[in-house]
A and B are shown apart, each in its own frame.
Chain A
Amino acid sequence: MTKKFIYPITVLLYFTIFLNACGTDSNDDSSTGWELTWSDDFEGEKGDLPDPSSWTFDIGTGDNGWGNRELQYYTNRPENVSLDGEGNLVITAIEESFSGSSYTSARIKTEGLFNQAYGRFEARIKTPFGRGVWPAFWMLGSDFREVGWPQTGEIDIMEFRGQEPSRIHGSLHGPGYSAGNAVTSSYSLANGRFDTEFHLFAVEWFEDRIDYYVDDVRYQTIERTDVGGEWVFDKPFFLILNIAVGGTFVGPPSDQTPFPQQMTIDYVNVYSRTE
């Protein structure tokens, strides 16, 4: 090849490599490989319950405080879960005597209404704070009622302990690697808190790995071969949002914990891979 051609070809090569190298940012819109399959922007009137075609409620105290000795009684009352009229959903944990419990709160889920396997699951959230307050954005397998837990698998996109307002946890539970043995990692803000501003919490779930994100930072990847048991993440999962009070993960509230405490969710988006 003559010198005359080498130069433009080299330049072309550089451009091609450069463009390709740039094209792997997976956080943005469908033009980079994701298409929106489900979302809730929480638009609506102040005091409205969340859209019943998208969300249903867990009520009460479950089995032994939902398995974790949590202290709250979940309700479907607007004071515990409703839109704020400004495009957000607010879940509120209230210190009040209710049906034998000392706190009320809410847990909403898309079980039976929407579930999906693989994809990107994200929510923009501002957390509550205070010792003993435990909000979460997470997922359970859609076969939960048939096969039980932990066989059904659990993906915790964001869990938070109110006494550590600058740190969240992302985890994976499954058979052989559940509860205390779950695969988990945490992410801390260097100089910020999760209760004073919105942050974006997400997982990107592929066939043999799940990546965990806070804002644009990937802080954890769990691969199929990393788990100490059967990989159960090849089936659809549904989404859950809640605030628990007390329980084994966070301990009880102290008398310094201010109530009521609120979690504000701007939106929930779910995408699937276009290729």
Chain B
Amino acid sequence: MKNYNLFSHTPIYLAIFLLLFVWGCERSVSGLEEAPNSDNPDVFLDTFSDGLNYAAFDGSVLEAFQVVEDETYDNSEASMRFEVPDLGDPRGSFAGGAFFTSIPRDLTGYNALTFYAKASESTQIGVLGLGIDLGENKFQASVDSTMLTRSWQKYTVPIPDPSLLESEQGLLFYSSGPINEEGYTFWLDEVKFENLGTIAFDSALILDGEERNFDAQNGQTFTIDGLASRHRLPDGTVGEVNASPYYFNFSSSDESVAQVSEDGVVTVTGEGTAVVTATLRGDSAEGSLTVNSGGEANTPNAAPPAPQQDPADVISLYTNEYDNVTVDTWNTGWEFSTATESFIQVENQDVILYQNLNFVGIEFASETIDASEMTHFRMDIWTPDPTELPNEFKVLLVDFGANDEFNGGDDSEHELTFTSPTLQTGEWISLDIPLSDFTGLQNRANLAQLVLSGDLPNIYLTNVYFYKGDDNGNGGGEPNAEPANSAPAPTEDEANVLSLFSDEYSDLPVDTWRTEWSAATLEEIDLFGNPTKKYTELDFVGIETTGDNLVDASEMEFIHIDLWTPNMDVVRIKLVDFGPDGGFEGGDDSESELVFEDLPKEQWNSLKIPFSDFEGLENRENLAQFILSGLPAGSSTLYIDNVYFSKEGDGGAPATEPVNAAPEPDADEADVISIFSDAYSNVDGTNLNPDWGQATVVTEETIEGNNTLKLAGLNYQGIELGENLDVTDMSTLHIDFWTVNSTELSVFLISPGPVEAPYALTVPTSGWASVEIPLSEFDSVDLSDVFQFKFEGDGDIWIDNIYFEN
């Protein structure tokens, strides 16, 4: 038998054993913790701290920074020297750069970046701070305009919220430019992070601490700026530190209306009101943004009619039809302009959408436009915004004069203002403006700027061009031209319409479309299958609905008419109401006429005119006559179609806010003490939104030109009168109110004590409700000394015409 010698196999066993040992000893890493970041607070004491690098900013003098040994704080070995260039230095326009570390630091245990600094002279350093790591720069924080002297002083940059700086690589950055065109030198030393007990966090702000409003539609955005934290400093003052949005926690009170991202960008998502606020270190920051969203952006669903001029007669800035000249910019971005522009298409037509438009500069100065041969300036605009009076849209043209440059004493300009009825909501409006209307323009050979402004924040703009019409100033074409198409079909729901003449609706009976006393010829024609009325040799024509045909348009809000003319410079529309007696005269008739100048010729103009524009028309329950007239008298040609009355409403859905203003009060000013009304002078100094800790959001809205108070989300709301009132001589308290969703509403009068007494109002209302409350209902209150009002209840309430009456 062979001797099985274990020992001779030992090397093999050993080898196997070793292998197992090695494999078995591979440590599992999953259970290990990550090494914590270094909490080294040093940035620069005598040398760069561990891992520190420097990079100069673009456009700055690359060699501005150097470590030096000759000017140090407290005889330390070295300091950092920065040389800010003079104005015009070819190496760069400023000194600036970031000190960042490749080894992230845990700075949560410190509350400030501190350093000693001095300068070659008394000067200011533009920006000093931390948080620029040349990557995300997420936690950037800085102070502006640090004043340095010629001797070493200690400076502190408090950190807005150090608890966020677990892994920070941006330790210090600076940027400073010449002052009065001259550069200077400054030194920093002993730069480090500290935990100072001599400073303390005080508060924070967004939007510079202000309460701002943002009226918008879905999809619009707003970037929250003005972000800062405030800290109590060792000298008893409070210092402000500019803070990046990531230090803040933003929130929206209603995410279905507006949402806000981590970096402070608010996006409008739906209709309604939302308030965006923020916290820092868990404390509420001062300032807020109230978003009032109209919901789905109202956009045109069709392009406007295409220009029809001969290209040889046109200088085009923005059309699809013609070649466009060079426009330097459609938004010069001037200071205080809030307008944003976007380039979109509507049915393949290029359109510029301006939003948040207060004013916007459009410039074509690099190649100015010579429009001296031109006769007209044309722009097509479309707006979803309310266009009733007193809202305006203004167009300003600027000519740079012979020197072809801004200023030089030869510039001239002129601004034109457009209002309703030229302005219409939700319809393309062609502004066809004779250049002779720009009377302030001394020359037109060097037109350089176009400025649009006014009360319409949302404007769709296209077909911007100059053209040369014929000698009569007509827009080209012959006076006998016929429409190339029938009037566009109306889109309102039949349920909201009373029609006199339209293919789309059933028409009410009309006595005649040409009374005997008219000066006009009427022809009933067929335009491409669509019955249309054609008037020629027109001076004036009467259209009547009398007797049984009297039209009660009291429920209606608009009169609509489509007009096409080749030659009328002026078109007038007059409405006559026969009053309650239903007959001509009798002392109760009323009428009102609107005048339209320079309606674009040779195209269908769809006019949708609010009844409120007809200011002299006192009633509209007995509309009897419609009189069309214009110039040139006796030779005008006018096609009309789609004559009807309409009201808003999407076929049954109830209004969520009042469309009409509250009824005009009829009390005599002498018998009234008014708190809130456009009809009377109101008690001076009244505070309509005192902070009583309420949830209610109070705004003032203009409805049909009438200032109206809106209480949204009411729980309770106070009004603090500008002075204590003695109303013992008054008999009633009048209030107009409107609400569809309130289930409870009371109004209180309050005298000092406080002593308050409620009066319950019936809600919801059907349209505007008016009450005259006898003051005896408030008899527990001292009526000789009323100093506050209070509303209590729920829902959204519009209120107007709050006054005491004798």
A, B: real partners? yes
Q: Which residues of A contact B (CB under 8 A)?
A: 129-131, 133, 161-166, 189-193, 195-196, 254, 256-258
- The distance in angstroms between the C-alpha atoms of A162 and B235, with both chains bound, is 8
A165 close to B236 (CB less than 8 A): yes
Task: List 25 A–B pairs whose Cβ atoms lie within 8 Å, in order of A's numbering.
Answer: A129-B236, A130-B237, A130-B238, A131-B236, A162-B236, A163-B235, A163-B237, A164-B235, A165-B232, A166-B234, A189-B198, A191-B196, A191-B198, A192-B197, A192-B198, A193-B199, A193-B232, A193-B234, A195-B200, A195-B232, A196-B200, A254-B237, A256-B237, A257-B236, A258-B238
A258 CA to B237 CA, complexed, in Å: 8
Assess whether A129 is in contact with B198, with CB atoms less than 8 Å apart: no
Which B residues are CB-close (under 8 A) to A161? 236
Inter-chain contact A131/B237, CB cutoff 8 Å? yes
**What chain A residues lie within 8 Å of B198 (beta carbons)?**
165-166, 189, 191-193
**Chain B interface, DSSP helix/strand/loop, else mixed:** loop
Question: Which of B197, B199, B236 sits near A189, CB closer than 8 Å?
Answer: B197
Q: How far is the CB of A262 from chain B (nearest CB, A)?
A: 13
Q: Nearest chain-B residue to A256 (Cβ)?
A: B237
Give 9 nearest A-B pairs by CB, closest first: A191-B197, A163-B236, A192-B197, A196-B200, A256-B237, A162-B236, A131-B236, A165-B236, A130-B236
**A193-B200 contact in complex given A129-B232, A165-B232, C-beta closer than 8 Å:** yes
**A166 vs B197: C-alpha distance in the bound complex, in angstroms?**
9
**A58 CB, min distance to chain B CBs, angstroms:** 25
Beta-carbon nearest neighbor of A189 in chain B: B197
Q: A165-B232, A195-B232, A196-B232 are in contact. Are A256 and B200 (CB under 8 A)?
A: no
Q: Which residue of A lies closest to B235 (CB)?
A: A163
The complex places the Cα of A166 from the Cα of B198 at a distance, in Å, of 7
| Nearest CB of A to B385, in Å | 41
Give the one of B235, B236, B237, B238 with max A CB within 10 A.
B236
- List 10 extra interface pairs beyond A163-B235, A166-B198, CB under 8 A: A129-B232, A130-B236, A130-B237, A130-B238, A131-B237, A163-B236, A164-B235, A164-B236, A189-B198, A195-B232
Closest-by-CB residue of A relative to B194 is A191
Give per-residue flags for B177-198: 1 if the beta carbon is below 8 A from chain A beta carbons, else 0: 0000000000000000000111
- The residues of A that contact B237 with a CB separation of less than 8 Å are 130-131, 163, 254, 256-257
Nearest A residue to B200, CB-CB = A196
Bound-state CA distance A104–B238 (Å) is 22
Q: Residue of B at shortest CB range from A164?
A: B236
**How big is the B interface, by class?**
10 to 19
Structural contact, B238 and A193, CB atoms closer than 8 A: no
Bound: A240/B804 CA distance, A: 50
CB distance from B198 to the nearest CB of A (A): 5
Chain B 218-249 interface mask (CB, 8 Å, partner A; 1/0)? 00000000000000101111100000000000
- Complex Cα distance, B236 from A257, in Å, reads 8
Distance in Å: Cβ of A243 to nearest Cβ of chain B: 14
Contacts of A257 in B (CB 8 A): 236-237
The CA-CA distance from A191 to B236 in the complex, in Å, is 14
- Measured between alpha carbons, how far is A163 from B236 in the docked complex, in Å? 4
**B residues near A189, Cβ cutoff 8 Å:** 197-198
Tell me if B238 and A256 are in contact (CB < 8 A): yes
Q: Give chain A nearest CB distance to B208 CB in angstroms.
A: 16
Q: Which residues of B contact A190 (CB under 8 A)?
A: 197
Give chain B nearest CB distance to A189 CB in angstroms. 7
Chain B residues in 8 Å Cβ range of A133: 236
* Shortest distance from the beta carbon of A222 to any chain B beta carbon, whole Å: 28
Smallest CB separation, B232 vs chain A (Å): 6
B contact residues around A258 at 8 Å (CB): 238
Q: How far is the CA of A87 from the CA of B197 in the complex (A)?
A: 26
CB distance from B231 to the nearest CB of A (A): 11
The answer for the CA separation of A258 and B286 in the assembled complex, in Å, is 15
Q: How far is the CA of A155 from the CA of B792 in the complex (A)?
A: 54
| Complex alpha-carbon distance, A173 and B234, angstroms | 29
Q: Which of B466-513 contact A (CB under 8 A)?
A: none
Q: In whole angstroms, how far apart are the Cα atoms of A131 and B235 in the complex?
A: 8
Distance (Å) between the CB of A201 and the closest chain B CB?
A: 18
Q: Tell me the complex Cα distance, A164–B199, Å.
A: 11
Task: Tell me, rounded to whole Å, the shortest Cβ–Cβ distance linking B525 to chain A.
Answer: 77
Q: Which of A161, A164, A193, A257 is the most central at the interface, judged by chain B CB atoms within 10 Å of its CB?
A: A193
Q: How far is the CA of A166 from the CA of B606 in the complex (A)?
A: 75
Give bound CA distance, A196 to B234, whole Å: 12
What's the minimum C-beta distance from A165 to chain B, rounded to whole angstroms? 5
Which of chain A's residues have a CB closer than 8 A to the CB of B197?
Answer: 189-193
Bound Cα distance from A190 to B234, whole angstroms: 12
Cα(A189)–Cα(B234), bound, Å: 11
Query: What CA separation (Å) do A195 and B200 show in the bound complex?
Result: 9
Across the interface, which residues of B come within 8 angstroms of A193, CB to CB?
A: 197-200, 232, 234
Q: Give min CB distance, B115 to chain A, whole Å.
A: 18
Which B residues lie within 8 Å of A195 (CB)? Answer: 200, 232
Residues from chain A with Cβ under 8 Å of B238 in the complex:
130, 256, 258
Could you tell me the distance in whole angstroms from the C-beta of B575 to the nearest C-beta in chain A? 57
B234-281 contacts to A, CB under 8 A, are 234-238
Please give the distance in Å from A193's CB to the nearest CB on chain B: 6
**Inter-chain contact B234/A165, CB cutoff 8 Å:** yes
- For B196, B198, B199, B234, which residue has the most chain A Cβ atoms within 10 angstroms? B198
Residue of B nearest to A132 (CB): B236
A79 CB → nearest B CB, Å: 15
A258→B200 CA distance, assembly (Å): 14
Tell me the smallest distance from the CB of A190 to a CB of chain B, in Å: 8
Q: Which residues of B contact A166 (CB under 8 A)?
A: 198, 234
A258 and B232 CA atoms in complex are apart in Å by 10
Task: Give B196's nearest chain A residue, CB to CB.
Answer: A191
Considering the chains assembled together, what is the distance between the CA atoms of A74 and B234 in angstroms? 28
Contacts of A165 in B (CB 8 A): 198, 232, 234, 236
Report Cα–Cα, A256/B233, bound state, in Å: 12
Chain A, Cβ-Cβ closest to B201 = A196
**B692, chain A: closest CB distance, angstroms:** 15
CA A254 – CA B238 in complex, angstroms?
Answer: 12
Q: Would you give the shortest CB distance from A39 to chain B, in whole angstroms? A: 29
Q: Which of B156-206 contact A (CB under 8 A)?
A: 196-200
| B230 and chain A: residue at smallest CB distance | A258
> Which residues from A are CB-within-8-Å of B232?
129, 165, 193, 195-196
Give complex CA distance A46, B198 in Å: 30
Contacts of B234 in A (CB 8 A): 165-166, 193
Residue of B nearest to A190 (CB): B197
**How distant is A127 from chain B, measured CB to nearest CB, in Å?**
11
Q: Chain A contacts of B235 at CB under 8 A?
A: 163-164
Task: Looking at the assembled complex, report how far the CB atom of A239 sits from the nearest CB atom of chain B, in whole angstroms.
Answer: 26
CA distance A133 to B234 in the complex (A): 15
Give, as a whole number of angstroms, the nearest-CB distance from B237 to chain A: 5
A131 to B234 CA separation, bound complex (whole angstroms):
11
State in angstroms the CA–CA spacing of A164 and B196 once bound together: 15
Residue of A130, A133, A189, A190 with highest tally of chain B CB at under 10 A: A130
What distance in Å separates the Cβ of A246 from its nearest Cβ neighbour in chain B?
14
Chain A residues whose C-beta falls within 8 Å of the C-beta of B200 in the assembled complex: 193, 195-196
Distance between B197 CB and nearest chain A CB, rounded to angstroms: 4
Complex alpha-carbon distance, A257 and B237, angstroms:
7
Q: State in angstroms the CA–CA spacing of A191 and B232 once bound together.
A: 14
Q: How far is A25 from B238 in the complex, measured between Cα atoms in Å? A: 40
* Docked CA distance A115–B549 (Å): 97
B200 to chain A, nearest CB (A): 4
Closest Cβ–Cβ distance, residue A247 to chain B (whole Å): 15
How close is A171's CB to chain B, nearest CB, in angstroms? 20
Q: How far apart are the CA atoms of A256 and B196 in the complex, in Å?
A: 22
Alpha-carbon separation in the docked complex, A257 to B232 (Å): 11
Q: Which of A133, A164, A195, A258: most chain B Cβ within 10 A?
A: A258
Output the nearest chain A residue to B199 by Cβ-Cβ distance: A193
Q: How far is the CA of A123 from the CA of B232 in the complex (A)?
A: 24
A264 to chain B, nearest CB (A): 14
Report how far A189 CA is from B199 CA in the complex, Å: 12
Expressed in whole angstroms, the Cα–Cα distance for A192 and B199 within the complex equals 8
- Distance (Å) between the CB of B752 and the closest chain A CB? 14
Query: How far does the Cβ of B530 sit from chain A's closest Cβ, in whole Å?
Result: 72
